[in-house]
């Protein structure tokens, strides 16, 4: 498809690049990419792709904009809070590149739609933030033979790779590097561990650079390498990723990737019972999260809570003094997802019992409400 004059003027600086001519720009214009997640990676990634002239972008994300998103999700502003991310993102991309086609899907990627969506595009870019989605995307990409640009980011660190493997060829896939999906709680999320907004912008831009190189054919962007980035001190490293000859290709999706359990946020019977006790004043709720986490979410307002950030604990005696001052024999310990509170109970149960206190962890934490 020939590019219209207004598009040629808009991307004129591309045409001055060595090895980048009209043919390469037309490849971008004719490309269709799928972006998983309009978040910290997806926003800078899509901004760069639209600006570069990629003709069709499909975005899938069912979330709305929150004020805590804005420090890293650069397509959104304070006035967008409460709006669907995909709708706001589509508007911003159309402002960057008039004539772009943006398919905004306000839904969640799942085992019912993943293969069809991933298999319908030239390239899929995974900006999701959960193991369940990342392995679902990677398996769908290998089933359909769709190239996948994969990235993760946490705190000041990010990783990036291009994977491509499929039914007709044995390339390199995510499961060659990480064969098994980790437990959802094995690594802290951004809300717990923090993330530098500029780091997500850097990794999103690197994803876009990989995509532009792959789609246009410049730069010899090929599967089989992982780029690792650290912001402080500024460092990049590249690792070779080889296909595992012992691994069989993925030919069908798993029945579940754990997303239902991690995303449904349904209270267990025991959680409901514990929260009921806290509402009635039958136990004291103790929050062991850090202060910045409390700003994001907490237990319902009618439940009075005591704060004991883990970072403030220096000794068992301090914990014993804290419990002795509560004036309650039953204590409900909670955190974001339930892992830290579970470990806290195991670590300090004996200390608490010496002061006449019995500890119990809130399953699922605040995220489970």
Average pLDDT across the chain, whole number: 91
Asked if the structure places residue 8 within a domain, the reply is no
* Structure tokens that stand for 115 in this block: 């293969």
Query: How many CB atoms are located within 10 Å of the residue 219 CB?
Result: 13
Query: What CATH number has the domain bearing residue 181?
Result: 3.40.50.720
- Write down the pLDDT at residue 190: 64
| Statement to judge: residues 198 and 337 lie in one domain | no
92-149 tens-digit pLDDT: 999 999 999 999 999 999 999 999 999 999 999 999 988 999 999 999 999 999 999 9
Active site residue 190: yes
pLDDT tens string 11-37: 999 999 999 999 999 999 999 999 999
Residues 69 and 174 in one domain: yes
Looking at the structure, tell me whether residues 110 and 192 fall in a common domain. Answer: yes
pLDDT tens for 288-302 read 999 988 988 899 999
Same domain, 213 and 302: no
CATH assignment of the domain containing 273:
3.40.250.10
Q: How far apart are CA 299 and CA 345, in angstroms?
A: 19
Query: For residue 152, what is the enclosing H or E element?
Result: strand 148-154
Catalytic residue among 43, 190, 265, 283: 190
**In-domain check, residue 170:** yes
Is residue 345 one of the residues assigned to a domain? yes
Query: What percent of the chain clears pLDDT 90, i.e. is strictly above it?
Result: 79
Query: In terms of domains, do 60 and 181 share one?
Result: yes
Alpha carbon distance 192, 274 (integer Å): 23
Distance CA 307, CA 265 (A): 23
Query: CA quadruple 262, 267, 270, 275: dihedral positive or negative?
Result: positive
Are residue 100 and residue 197 in the same domain, yes or no?
Answer: yes
Q: Which of 43, 265, 283, 335 is an active site residue? A: 335
Q: Residue 264 has what pLDDT?
A: 41
265: confidence class by pLDDT, cuts 50, 70, 90: very low
Are 285 and 337 in the same domain?
A: yes
Lookup: tokens for 165: 């493997």
Q: Do 42 and 114 lie in a common domain?
A: yes
Residue 350 CA to residue 17 CA, distance in Å, equals 67
Q: How many domains does the chain have?
A: 2
Same domain flag for 65 and 101 = yes
Same domain membership, residue 219 and residue 148:
yes
Q: State residue 248's pLDDT score.
A: 93
Task: Verify that 43 and 91 share a domain, yes or no.
Answer: yes
What residues make up the domain containing 73? 31-240
- What burial letters (b/e) apply to 157-167, b meaning 16+ CB within 10 Å? bbbbbbbbbbe
pLDDT of residue 183: 77
- What length does the chain have? 369
Q: In terms of domains, do 293 and 152 share one? A: no
From 240, 273, 299, give the residue that closes a domain.
240
Rounded CA-CA distance 84/355 in Å is 49
């Amino acid at each position: 498809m020939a590019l219209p004059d207004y598009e040629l003027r808009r991307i004129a600086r591309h045409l001055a690049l060595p090895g980048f001519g009209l043919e390469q720009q037309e490849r971008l214009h004719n490309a269709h990419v799928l972006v998983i997640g309009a978040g910290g990676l997806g926003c800078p990634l899509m901004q760069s792709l639209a600006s570069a002239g990629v003709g069709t972008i499909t975005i899938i994300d069912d979330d709305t904009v929150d004020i805590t998103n804005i420090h890293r999700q650069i397509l959104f502003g304070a006035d967008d809070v409460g709006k669907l991310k995909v709708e706001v993102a589509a508007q911003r991309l159309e402002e960057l590149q008039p004539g772009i086609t943006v398919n905004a899907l306000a839904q969640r990627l799942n085992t019912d739609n993943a293969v069809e969506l991933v298999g319908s595009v030239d390239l899929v870019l995974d900006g999701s933030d959960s193991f369940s989605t990342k392995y679902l995307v990677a398996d769908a990409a290998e089933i359909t033979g769709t190239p996948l640009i994969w990235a993760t980011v946490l705190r000041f660190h990010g990783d990036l790779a291009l994977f491509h493997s499929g039914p007709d060829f044995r390339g390199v896939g995510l499961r060659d590097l990480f064969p098994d999906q980790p437990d959802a709680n094995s690594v802290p999320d951004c809300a717990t561990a923090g993330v530098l907004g500029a780091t997500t912008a850097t990794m999103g831009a690197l994803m876009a650079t990989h995509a532009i190189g792959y789609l246009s054919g410049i730069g010899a962007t090929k599967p089989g390498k992982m780029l690792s980035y650290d912001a402080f001190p500024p460092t990049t490293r590249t690792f070779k990723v080889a296909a595992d000859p012992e691994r069989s290709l993925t030919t069908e999706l798993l029945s579940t990737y754990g997303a239902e359990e991690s995303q449904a946020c349904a209270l267990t019977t025991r959680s409901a019972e514990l929260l009921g006790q806290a509402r009635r004043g039958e136990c004291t709720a103790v929050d062991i999260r850090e202060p910045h986490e409390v700003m994001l979410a907490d237990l319902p307002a009618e439940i009075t809570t005591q704060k004991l950030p883990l970072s403030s604990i220096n000794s068992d005696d301090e914990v014993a003094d804290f419990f002795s001052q509560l004036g309650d024999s039953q204590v409900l310990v909670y955190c974001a997802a339930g892992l830290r509170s579970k470990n806290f109970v195991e670590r300090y149960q004996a200390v608490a019992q010496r002061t006449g206190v019995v500890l119990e962890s809130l399953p699922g934490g605040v995220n489970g409400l």
